[in-house]
Amino acid sequence: MRISLIDVDNKYRDLKKNAKTIPNLALMKLSAHHKAKGDIVGLNLIDPDVTYISCVFTWNQDKALKEASKVHPSKVVVCGGSGIDINCRLSENIECLKPDYDLYPSEYSQGFTTRGCGRKCNFCIVPEKEGRIHTAQHPKEFHDDRFDTCMIMDNNLFMAPQEWQDSIFNWFIKNKIKMLSPQGWDIRLLNEKRAKALREIAHAGMVHFAWDNIKDEPAVLKGLNLLAEIGFDLRREISVYVLSGYNPDFGKDTFEQDVYRCNKLRSRGVQAYVMRYQPRTKTRTVIRGRRLNALARWAASPEIYWKTPFEKYDRKERSGD
Ligand code: SF4
């Protein structure tokens, strides 16, 4: 059989050139499943018997449905992903497979060692989609020896049972595999043991933490102090995602709080990354606004961020309006 896999969120990008594209894990597992059965599998394969369409983001739902409508009525089409249905899951026998790293131009292994999260942040899809924290695959099950880097896609590994965390961290250390962790670690749960483990692991790029709520300032500053004590160079090795354009407690001064958190990080010698809130709407609605755009631009340019305080940068921006 011929199996076509469509990654709607990335279909129109040049995957070879776009280093930021994270390969679609579900499609890679479907690919492994069908290749093991002897099927011919590929992204956007022509003349397929079965087409799987994956859509992660709700704002790409219409594109996914359009792709589905192009499939001949006599052929099978399966449409899935959080952008279509939050309850959509791979079957267990496919979920546990090692992904097919030949489907994309992959440069690292990837997978989830846990799913879910024990917190219930009202802006986050994870608790509703994946439930409470639970273990998933060990990296030894999804890592491929051809790579020196492995991405863990977990939402909140610090919430997993400590033995599971130890086992994951020790695997990276023992095998000298570089860790790629694009999600922000939950700095409120950082302790000495975890900080030491993160210090011992080799990281592919910066280590990211998250600061979503201004109320967490004491925990964030405590965590940053701990990272510095353990030997991290905060300026070069650590960055913090600052949820912006949204206040988890529905306060009014969101923007002022966004600026405050960025400035606080800057004064502590840490790179802030403005993470704009994106509501789950059918059209891509990124929260914008001239000042929020300026804040994001300022934080995204390290040479400006470190040299010029945002207030001065913003005045300069405004004088150019
Ligand atoms: S801690 Fe992170 S993963 Fe967990 S609910 Fe909050 S934002 Fe989502």
DSSP string, 264-299: HHHHTT-EEEEEE-----SS------HHHHHHHHHH
- Ligand 1 centre to CA of 97 (Å) is 26
Mutation test of ligand 1: which of 154, 155, 240 has the most ligand atoms closer than 8 Å to its C-beta? 155
Higher-scoring residue by pLDDT: 116, 279: 116
Nearest to 248 by CA among 211, 302, 220, 284: 211
pLDDT (tens digit per residue) in 9-49: 987 777 776 667 899 999 999 999 999 999 999 999 999 99
- Ligand 1 centre to CA of 133 (Å) is 10
Mean local confidence (pLDDT), 101-130: 94
Task: Report pTM.
Answer: 0.92
pLDDT (tens digit per residue) in 175-190: 999 999 999 999 999 9
Residue 243: CB partners within 8 Å, gap ≥ 6?
123, 210, 211, 212, 213, 275, 277
Atom of ligand 1 nearest to the CA of 120: 5
Nearest to 103 by CA among 149, 153, 39, 150: 39
Identify the burial level of 122 via C-beta atoms within 10 angstroms of its C-beta, where 0-12 means exposed, 13-18 middle and 19 or more buried.
exposed
Question: Are the CB atoms for 21 and 15 separated by under 8 Å?
Answer: yes
Q: What is the DSSP letter of 10?
A: G
Mean local confidence (pLDDT), 71-90: 92
Domains and CATH numbers, the chain: 1-89 (3.40.50.280), 90-319 (3.20.20)
pLDDT (tens digit per residue) in 248-285: 776 556 899 999 999 999 999 999 999 998 877 766 66
Pairing of strands 114-115, 134-135: antiparallel
The pLDDT value given to residue 54: 96
Mean confidence (pLDDT) of the chain: 92
Q: How confident is the model at residue 69 (pLDDT cuts 50, 70, 90)?
A: very high
pLDDT (tens digit per residue) in 135-160: 999 999 999 999 999 999 999 999 99
Mean local confidence (pLDDT), 58-86: 92
As for ligand 1, residues whose beta carbon falls within 6 Å of it are 117, 119-121, 124, 126-127, 155-156, 186
Q: Is the pLDDT of residue 318 over 80?
A: no
Question: Are the CB atoms for 168 and 152 separated by under 8 Å?
Answer: yes
Question: Are the CB atoms for 232 and 238 separated by under 8 Å?
Answer: yes
- Ligand 1 centre to CA of 89 (Å) is 20
Atom of ligand 1 nearest to the CA of 125: 8
Pairing of strands 149-152, 178-180: parallel
